Amino acid sequence: MTPHAQNRTLELHDVSRRFGATIALDSVSLTIASGEIICLVGQSGCGKSTLLRMIAGVDLVDSGRILLNGQEVSGPSRFVEPEDRKIGFVFQDYALFPHLTIEQNILFGLKRHPKQEAKARVADIIAHIGIEHLIGRYPHMLSGGEQQRVALARALAPQPDILLMDEPFSNLDRGLREKVRDETLSLLRGLGTTVIMVTHDPEEALSAGDRVVLMKAGRIVQAGSGYDLHDRPVSAYAAEFFCAFNRLSGIYRNGHVETAIGRFAHELDAVEGTPATLYIRPQGISVSPGPGSVSGQLKSRTFLGEVEQLAIDVDGLETPLRVRTMHRLPPGTQTVGLHVLPGSWLAFPAI
């Protein structure tokens, strides 16, 4: 093993997979460093779970190679069985064995270890995760949050090189989900575990991952930090995945996109005079009562607590503008002035 391989826990080279006529993965390449927390995000069917299953070795690659700690585990010449990969997996349904107690479930992955050592490991991990009180019970006697923690303990007990998690929090109630997610991630950061987590929730991806990998139709759209993906999306798809933008059609001229509500500076790799689409964040528009340089009619207002969501009809726009604001408009306001804050818009050539 070369020394620098220590830092590259996992490498994917042009990994492809198809099921019949559908292409699940189309030449995916990705390198993941030791201790990184990666979030694979995308709509269902984008190939993110397939990718996870291939890394684990419970599914085959059609072409391409997967390297674990510098050694090929899936590829044209070699296939390492999942039981020989030292990978932990937390499943969406947790997959706790119903015929075994919690303790036996956690011991399941330690069969190759001497009995005393295995027992000590179990004691260690359950103390760490705080589930000592559950060990004698069976999975069906546990709440969703408890099952999730047991699944995590079971996956971590054999001290895997990489932990894979497939939608690990999606089965939890909304309130519980955030708490469990925060606890889990701080635990994993504390252990320095390399984590690849799959989610379909953009907010979860942005908040949880050191690096976010957005996928679509078997390909990687964009990979980078959460800030990168949210603030500097490379495509309209990436932009809209993380934010519910207002879409305005316009024309690209002179480094600006001209729309019904004004000209917005944005350099585009496009021909002069071609159509372009302007994307404005709902929280990037400020409103004031009475007419302004751009005016609109308040169509509806939905109070959400911290913010209020407004729908504003503007002359020349087909759909009302969506605005999220913390500013309280007086009751009975009808006409409002609009101002788009700098840095809150993006533009892409219209397709």
Partner 1 sequence: MISAARSWPRGRAGARWLLGAGTVASLVMLPIFALLLQALQGSAGLWSHLAATVLPVALADTIILLCGVGLITAVLGTSTAWLVTAYAFPGRRVLEWALLLPLAVPTYIIAYAYLDILHPIGSVQGAVRWLLGYSSPREFRLPDVRSMTGCILLLGFVLYPYVYIPTRAMFLTQSANLIDASRTLGISRRAVFWHVALPLARPAVAVGVSLALMETLNDIGASEFLGVRTLTVSIYTTWITRTDLPGASQIALSLLMVVVALVAFEKWARGKQRYSTGAQRSRAFESRRVSTAKGLLLFFGGLLPIFIGFGAPAIYLVNEAWKRIEFAGLSSRFLNEAFNTIVLASAATIITVLFGLLVAYASRLRPGAATAWLQRLSTLGYAAPGTVVAIGVLIVLATLDGFIDRTAAAWFGVSTGLLFIGSGAALLYAYSVRFLAISAGGIDAGLARIPVSFDHASRVLGQSAAGTFRHVHLPLSKAAITAAGLLVFVDCVKELPATLLLRPLNVETFATHLYGEAARGTYEEASIAALAIVVIGILPVVLLSRMGQARR
**Interacting residues toward partner 1 by CB under 8 A:** 1, 53, 56-58, 60, 68-69, 71, 73, 76-89, 91-93, 95, 97-99, 108-109, 111-112, 154-155, 158
- Burial (Cβ within 10 Å: 0-12, 13-18, ≥19) of residue 57: buried
Whose Cβ is closer to partner 1: residue 93's or residue 315's?
A: 93
**How far is 321 from 247, CA to CA, in rounded Å?**
9
| Main-chain phi, psi angles of 349, to 5 degrees | -60, 140
Whose Cβ is closer to partner 1: residue 140's or residue 328's?
A: 140
Whose Cβ is closer to partner 1: residue 60's or residue 265's?
A: 60
- Nearest distance from residue 98's CB to partner 1, in Å? 7
Residue the block writes with tokens 């759209």: 221
Whose Cβ is closer to partner 1: residue 84's or residue 269's?
A: 84
- Nearest distance from residue 109's CB to partner 1, in Å? 3
| Cβ neighbours of 244 (radius 10 Å) | 11
Whose Cβ is closer to partner 1: residue 39's or residue 56's?
A: 56
- Nearest distance from residue 154's CB to partner 1, in Å? 7
- Nearest distance from residue 161's CB to partner 1, in Å? 9
- Nearest distance from residue 339's CB to partner 1, in Å? 50
Whose Cβ is closer to partner 1: residue 88's or residue 218's?
A: 88
- Nearest distance from residue 11's CB to partner 1, in Å? 14
